[in-house]
């Protein structure tokens, strides 16, 4: 199913020959590249750096942090069908529920934006959950939480935590791309649903 659906149409519930489908058809290059991005991230030729289970776990967690139930359910189903996914899913769902926040939080470098600094929660996954997730995925989910709620605090130290937990440089790039793509996808789907309801 991954390679036969247009993911944004699917999540937005867009049917052929509707006004929303017509709007999307006006931007064929945008449609094509969004779909290619999704396929590159979730149906890649190479998964040695970031497994499919890790990709779907990250997507499920990120979508849940964004409080987007339909997208969360879509990726949760994919996760449940992957290696060890059903075991991971329960822990990820609980972590997301407990660590959801408003954001954005974090600190700007000293300067004119400093008055906008805001303290916020930092996800630190406990040992019991870390035992289920594994060191690498647990560190990845902590980083997802940082990127979603505290992007101002992204730093070399945060990246070093990922490297120390077993993420490769290529894997870290993929992790960041997954979080960015999910944010994009969720906003586009929300916009299309609003247009369809207008």
Distance CA 44, CA 110 (A): 41
The CATH H-level (homologous superfamily) assignment of domain 49-197 is AhpD-like (1.20.1290.10)
Phi-psi region of 80 (alpha: psi -120 to 50; beta: other; left: phi over 0): alpha
The answer to pTM > 0.85 is: yes
Beta strands in 25-175 (DSSP E): none
For residues 84-112, average pLDDT: 92
* pLDDT score of 190 more than 60: yes
Q: Where are the domains of the chain?
A: 49-197
Quickly state the pLDDT bin for 166 (edges 50, 70, 90): very high
Distance CA 1, CA 106 (A): 39
């Amino acid at each position: 199913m991954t390679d036969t659906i247009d993911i944004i149409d699917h999540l937005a519930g867009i049917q052929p020959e509707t006004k929303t489908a017509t709007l999307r058809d006006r931007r064929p290059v945008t449609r094509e590249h969004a779909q290619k991005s999704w396929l590159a991230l979730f149906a890649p030729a190479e998964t040695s750096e970031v497994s499919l289970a890790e990709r779907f776990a990250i997507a499920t967690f990120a979508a849940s942090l964004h409080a987007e139930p339909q997208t969360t359910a879509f990726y949760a189903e994919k996760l449940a069908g992957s290696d060890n996914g059903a075991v991971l899913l329960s822990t990820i769902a609980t972590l997301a529920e407990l660590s959801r926040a408003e954001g954005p939080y974090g600190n700007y470098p000293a300067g004119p934006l400093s008055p906008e600094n805001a303290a916020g929660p930092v996800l630190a996954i406990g040992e019991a959950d870390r035992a289920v997730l594994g060191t690498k995925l647990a560190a990845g989910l902590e980083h997802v939480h940082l990127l979603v709620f505290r992007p101002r605090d992204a730093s070399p130290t945060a990246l070093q935590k990922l490297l120390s937990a077993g993420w490769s440089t290529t894997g870290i790039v993929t992790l960041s791309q997954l979080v960015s793509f999910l944010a994009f996808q969720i906003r586009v789907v929300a916009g299309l649903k609003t247009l369809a309801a207008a």
